[in-house]
A and B are shown apart, each in its own frame.
Chain A
Amino acid sequence: AQSVTQPDIHITVSEGASLELRCNYSYGATPYLFWYVQSPGQGLQLLLKYFSGDTLVQGIKGFEAEFKRSQSSFNLRKPSVHWSDAAEYFCAVGAFSQNNDMRFGAGTRLTVKP
């Protein structure tokens, strides 16, 4: 069964600084990989997803993620963080056929300093 690890529970960055959120997954084949963002009291919004093709994926709000098969990683990056990016970020891995094998990481809480 697949699993997802987000090693950083909480990250603080200054506004305008670059950001990288780590995600490592475990899965036998190439899964779907996702990054979601959750603002306080809200649902999850999909930032980007990857299944095949170019390993560098562009998402909404200026985010991108790179799939590295050799490292089983799918790290999320943003070159310049805005205060509005403060939220909880979840990496997820999924396989979809008969069942819904969608597994989420525990999340990384991002704080943005002015």
Chain B
Amino acid sequence: NAGVMQNPRHLVRRRGQEARLRCSPMKGHSHVYWYRQLPEEGLKFMVYLQKENIIDESGMPKERFSAEFPKEGPSILRIQQVVRGDSAAYFCASSPWTAQETQYFGPGTRLLVL
């Protein structure tokens, strides 16, 4: 029973490029959450999605960031025109629809913007 999977685990981009981070939730989980962890800080909530719906994007930067969770396939966090300040660890979590409070985290994608 595989846990939450994220890929790539490490991603290096130059300023201005696009970053795509993928998250496959645990089997049977229909809710996905994205968090960002800056160095020496805790996790900051970004966005909460169900299949084909964005439920809560209150933590998403207004520009350059978008997320989707299509009917088929993984959830994608997309960062356009990356800047150095986007360098962080991005974690995905998933939960069953009946228990939003039980979030299982993936290993994270560490993004480095040069």
Interface residues, chain A, with chain B CB atoms under 8 Å away: 4, 32, 36, 41-46, 49, 51, 90, 92, 94, 96, 98-107
Question: Is B107 in contact with A42, judged by CB distance below 8 angstroms?
Answer: yes
A4 to B56, CA, bound (A): 20
Q: A43-B4, A100-B33, A100-B56 are in contact. Are A105 and B105 (CB under 8 A)?
A: no
Question: Is B100 in contact with A100, judged by CB distance below 8 angstroms?
Answer: yes
Measured between beta carbons, the chain A residues less than 8 angstroms from B108 are 42-43
Interface-forming stretch among B14-22, B43-51, B67-75, B77-85? B43-51
A46 to B33, CA, bound (A): 15
Question: Is B101 in contact with A104, judged by CB distance below 8 angstroms?
Answer: no
List 24 A–B pairs whose Cβ atoms lie within 8 Å, in order of A's numbering.
A4-B42, A36-B105, A41-B107, A42-B107, A42-B108, A43-B105, A43-B107, A44-B105, A46-B104, A90-B42, A90-B43, A92-B43, A96-B101, A98-B56, A99-B55, A100-B33, A100-B100, A102-B33, A102-B45, A104-B42, A104-B43, A105-B42, A106-B42, A107-B41
A42 to B105, CA, bound (A): 10
Measured between beta carbons, the chain A residues less than 8 angstroms from B41 are 106-107
Question: Is A103 in contact with B91, judged by CB distance below 8 angstroms?
Answer: no
Question: Is B101 in contact with A51, judged by CB distance below 8 angstroms?
Answer: yes
B103 contacts the other chain (Cβ, under 8 Å)? Answer: yes
Measured between beta carbons, the chain A residues less than 8 angstroms from B106 are 43
A99 to B106, CA, bound (A): 21
Nearest CB of A to B97, in Å: 11
B1 contacts the other chain (Cβ, under 8 Å)? Answer: no
Measured between beta carbons, the chain B residues less than 8 angstroms from A42 are 107-108
Question: Is A107 in contact with B42, judged by CB distance below 8 angstroms?
Answer: yes
Question: Is B101 in contact with A99, judged by CB distance below 8 angstroms?
Answer: no
9 A-B pairs with least C-beta separation: A104-B42, A100-B48, A96-B100, A43-B105, A44-B105, A99-B56, A104-B43, A43-B107, A106-B42
A43 to B90, CA, bound (A): 10
